[in-house]
């Protein structure tokens, strides 16, 4: 093992022998600090010389985007709890105020590290490759002329300078907007005023200069032309700033007669959420900073100061340019072998699924040629009578939604459970819900008090031997864009029990049916928690022969953490692959000595949830589960989730191979220590590249 530890979590103290696991707060890593640990791991990818330059910039942008969401949701929630005088504490024993203080302490060094890597390493290295973000002061006369013309034609007409004086109140600053704070002086009277100019977001932040890969930040172009906005005034200075607001929708389903209207109303209110953070330039004068803090009802503790550009999510724009030498080498788009064979023979995916269940692994295997094709064929197949589907996050230009519309227009009964409460995708989902409804799709917006996070498609088809239900269940969203970036598993089956369960699930989602016991599916919130606890207990009965292997996005549910601790005390070997939040401490003597926790980051976002219990079957054999649920309170108690058992030996072998690769001895990963620190292992093997080669090898025709 090598590398340096990275952690903002609190260290564990000695475990008193007289207390139970459930009573020991320091056995639980704080959820918010664990989330920041995850973003710290993202930041380590920015500093990794083995990652191509533009990919490092992309990780830099992802780090910033992650922090934006963290402040909009997690910090905002803690601020609300603190303001309300809540006495509640987190499982690790911290109050809202204590968590906010710990967050502030943790974030400062992360931001300093991000800026140091960007300013001192990445930007100079990019310039060596001919890609430069150029300050206005370094532009040639011709370049300035080009930008001034662009400004006059495209930018100046949409700018609105807003002054602050007795007749002009302080303007509203919208969430995550980039702004210029401008100090102007009237040369005739000597009077000084503050003004705000909002940087428009209608076009790219990085203005490209013709015939080159030289870019200028649009705010520098605007700043250079401030005299055109304040004619006759002296510009004493300008500084950028950005405000983050509470963006968590407070809607309680039971309060709304019309959920769609209520969500649209709350989306408008989101713009006016309480301020929770302000980002400013280090050069901003104290008097301007104090004015902003006073007007935004913030304190010095809510300020982050930057010596480089504010809002580094704009670095994603550089990644969009055609610079293959500075990016990951593209991997071939592979279609699952059985799908290729069927297509070659002119057979449908339904015939493939009738022969045997189909398992696909994205993006190593194509999402378009499997999941999208399945829904497209269902939409056009005259034998298909019904299509039912859940949509949690979908893309703005969704081929799947278009297939549903086409099916409805030709008379197929189509029902879509569109989750319009999916955070930060509400607006997209609202628009799709309206479009689908106008086309004749039966649209349901969600269940009261729950989000529908399950990934499920049910197709009822009139086969030659009678009606048959075809089901797709997955770990990822029905989103063609993220399907190329997120690692996920998709499972197709026409198993009668799973088909019956899927019908029951949709009846629950669209009607008034109560959640009942299912034959094969594990479904939250009614049964999933209990069934997972039973599977853990079943392994405990086998002592040291028991084994649990789980891959998930997050592990933060206290009861699940406690159950895994108890299983470890019984001798069960437990391997956990957790990409993000992990509130469990592995390797604590007497508590979790048999537990290992890894985190893997790479060119793909590890998104699949896979669970294996070696003695989970009633007959004592292994149980493999895939689906949408993490071990988090929200997944187990606050959402409709599904896990499906994968029973075919070939498919179980595939899932076991995923575990074998990701638990290998010489792969690059992070390992969680009992102290709460994440220690990076710089292995010689890139596990995602290894997986890609393995998939390519399995799809290669024999003898080739």
CB 661 within 8 Å of CB 687 = yes
DSSP 257: S
Give the residue numbers annotated as catalytic, written as ranges: 453
Residue of 622, 596, 598, 609 lying closest to 542 (CA atoms): 622
Alpha-carbon Rg for the chain, nearest whole angstrom, is: 27
Helix-, strand-, coil-residue percentages of the chain, each rounded to 5: 40, 25, 35
How big is the CA angle at 416 (ends 394 and 453), to the nearest 5 degrees? 55
If you write DSSP's letter for every residue of 171-216 in order, what string do you get? PP--TT-EEEEEEEE-TTT--EEEEEEEPP-SS-SEEEPTTSEEEE
**399-409 and 426-438 are packed helices; what angle lies between their axes, rounded to 10 degrees?**
20
C-alpha distances in angstroms, 226 versus 273, 291, 354, 422?
A: 30, 21, 68, 40
Pairwise CA distance, residues 648 & 653, whole Å: 9
CB 483 within 8 Å of CB 395 = no
Pairwise CA distance, residues 561 & 568, whole Å: 11
List of residues 6+ apart from 555 with CB closer than 8 A: 561, 576, 578, 581, 582, 583, 584, 630, 631, 632
How many other C-beta atoms lie within 10 A of the C-beta of residue 252?
10
List of residues 6+ apart from 124 with CB closer than 8 A: none
């Amino acid at each position: 093992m090598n590398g340096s530890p990275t952690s903002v979590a609190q260290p564990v103290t000695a475990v008193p022998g007289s207390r139970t696991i459930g009573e020991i707060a320091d056995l639980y890593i704080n959820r918010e600090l664990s989330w920041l640990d995850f973003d710290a791991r993202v930041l380590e990818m920015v500093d990794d010389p083995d990652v191509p330059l533009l990919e490092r910039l992309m990780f830099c942008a992802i780090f910033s985007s992650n922090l934006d969401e963290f402040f909009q949701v997690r910090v905002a929630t803690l601020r609300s709890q603190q303001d309300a005088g809540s006495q509640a504490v987190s499982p690790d024993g911290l109050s809202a105020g204590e968590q906010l203080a710990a967050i502030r302490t943790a974030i400062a060094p992360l931001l300093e590290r991000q800026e140091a890597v960007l300013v001192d390493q990445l930007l100079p290295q990019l310039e060596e490759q001919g890609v430069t973000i150029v300050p206005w002061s370094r532009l040639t006369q011709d370049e300035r002329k080009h930008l001034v013309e662009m400004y006059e034609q495209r930018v100046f007409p949409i700018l609105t300078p807003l002054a602050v004086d007795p007749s002009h109140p302080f303007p509203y600053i919208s969430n995550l907007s980039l702004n210029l704070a401008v100090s102007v002086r009237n040369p005739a009277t000597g009077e000084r005023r503050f003004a705000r100019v909002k940087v428009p977001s209608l076009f790219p932040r990085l203005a490209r200069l013709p015939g080159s890969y030289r870019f200028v930040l649009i705010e520098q172009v605007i700043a250079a032309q401030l005299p055109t906005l304040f004619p006759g005034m002296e510009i004493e200075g300008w500084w950028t700033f950005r405000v983050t607001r509470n963006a968590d929708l407070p809607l309680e389903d039971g309060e709304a007669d019309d959920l769609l209207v209520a969500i649209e109303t709350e989306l408008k209110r989101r713009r006016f959420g309480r301020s929770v953070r302000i980002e400013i330039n280090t050069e901003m004068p104290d008097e301007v900073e104090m004015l902003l803090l006073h007007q935004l009802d913030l304190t010095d503790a809510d300020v982050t100061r930057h010596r480089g550009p504010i809002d580094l999510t704009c670095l994603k724009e550089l990644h969009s340019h055609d610079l293959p030498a500075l990016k990951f080498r593209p991997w071939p788009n592979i279609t699952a072998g059985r799908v290729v064979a069927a297509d070659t023979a002119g057979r449908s995916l339904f015939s493939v699924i009738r022969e045997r269940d189909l398992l696909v692994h994205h993006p190593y295997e194509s999402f378009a040629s499997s999941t999208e094709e399945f829904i497209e064929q269902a939409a056009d197949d005259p034998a298909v009578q019904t299509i039912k589907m859940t949509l949690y996050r979908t893309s703005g230009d969704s081929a799947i939604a278009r297939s549903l519309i086409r099916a409805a227009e030709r008379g197929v009964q189509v029902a879509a459970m569109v989750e319009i409460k999916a955070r930060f995708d509400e607006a997209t989902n609202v628009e799709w819900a309206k479009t689908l409804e106008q086309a004749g799709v039966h649209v349901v917006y969600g269940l009261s008090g729950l989000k529908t996070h399950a990934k499920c498609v049910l197709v009822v088809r009139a086969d030659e031997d009678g009606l048959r239900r075809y089901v797709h269940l997955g770990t990822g969203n029905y989103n063609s864009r993220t399907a190329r970036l997120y690692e996920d598993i998709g499972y197709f089956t026409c198993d009668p029990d799973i088909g019956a369960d899927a019908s029951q699930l949709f009846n629950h989602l669209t009607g008034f049916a109560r959640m009942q016991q299912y034959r094969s599916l594990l479904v939250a919130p009614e049964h999933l928690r209990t069934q997972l606890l039973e599977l853990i207990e079943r392994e405990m009965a086998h002592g040291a022969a028991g084994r649990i292997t789980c891959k998930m996005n997050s592990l933060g549910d206290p009861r699940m953490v406690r159950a895994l601790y108890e299983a470890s005390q019984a001798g069960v070997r437990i391997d956990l692959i957790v990409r993000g939040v992990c509130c469990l401490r592995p390797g604590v003597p007497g508590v979790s000595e048999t537990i290992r926790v890894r985190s893997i980051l790479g060119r793909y976002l590890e998104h699949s949830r896979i669970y294996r219990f070696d003695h989970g079957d009633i007959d004592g054999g292994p149980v493999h589960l895939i689906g949408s649920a993490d071990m988090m309170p929200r997944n187990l108690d606050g959402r409709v989730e599904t896990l499906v058992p994968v029973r075919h030996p070939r498919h179980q072998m595939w899932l076991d191979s995923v575990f074998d690769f990701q638990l290998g001895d010489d792969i690059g990963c992070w390992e969680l220590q009992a102290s709460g620190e994440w220690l990076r292992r710089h292995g010689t093997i890139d596990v995602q590249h290894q997986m890609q080669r393995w998939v390519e090898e399995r799809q290669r025709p024999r003898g080739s």
